[in-house]
Copies of this chain bind each other. A is one copy, B any other.
Amino acid sequence: MRYSEDHKEKTHAKIVEQASKEFREHGFEGVGIAQLMSKLGLSHGGFYAHFEDKEDLKDQAIQHGLDESYEMAIEALNSGGFRAYIEKYTSDLHRDHPEYGCVLPALCSEEGRRTVESKAKFAERFSENIDLFAERLPGNDLALNRTRVQFIMSALSGSIALSRATGDTELSAEILRSTRQHLFAFLDGL
């Protein structure tokens, strides 16, 4: 063989990783396949040896993004609990760098317009993240904690999406501050 045994696998992973970042930054429609491949030093023709079509890549990029989001979340939770996670999530750094941030605020509007199958895959993986977060909230009522995590994630992802949409204005910073502050109060009340 011309390449090492796991060469194709590694290329595949690199495409998914790069796509995941670029989709978050520019949206699904804002990333072209030729452009994406050339950024990895590859030609666009090879793309179809790795993926069925662009939709397939979107699915895999979203899954990868949810994996990443989960790992980053666990890191913050381990270091300082939900307070640290919320702090990090509502930071200016997160707002200004969608490519390294959570997939939810970056792509949720667009994900809602995809096929039933794609949305089901998204829901399945997202639901796992919710369960794992729920275990880390105080109390033993997992079902209740699931609702709490869903509420927190709605507020967090909404705040980042709105703060990005309002650009470099005072309002943008205000939205993040407000959401952080009231989520802290919510946590304190648990």
State the A residues within 8 Å of B (CB): 26-27, 29-30, 98, 104-113, 116, 119-120, 122-123, 126-127, 130, 146-148, 150-151, 153-159, 161-162, 164-169, 171-172, 174-175, 177-179, 181-183, 186, 189
Contacts and interface: CB of A to CB of B under 8 A. Distances in A.
Nearest to A111: B165
Contacts of A182: 147-148, 151, 186
Contacts of A27: 29, 109-110, 113
A151 B175 CA distance: 7
Contact of A171 (B29, B108, B123): B123
A149 to B, nearest CB: 8
Nearest to A168: B116
Contacts of A106: 109
A174 B146 contact: yes
Counting chain B CB atoms within 10 Å of each CB, the highest count among A123, A126, A157, A158 belongs to A158
A165 B98 contact: no
A157 B37 CA distance: 34
Nearest to A104: B162
Contact of A169 (B120, B148, B156): B120
Contacts of A29: 27, 29
8 closest Cβ pairs, A-B complex? A158-B158, A119-B167, A112-B164, A147-B178, A154-B158, A123-B166, A111-B165, A154-B159
Contacts of A148: 178, 182
B161 A108 contact: yes
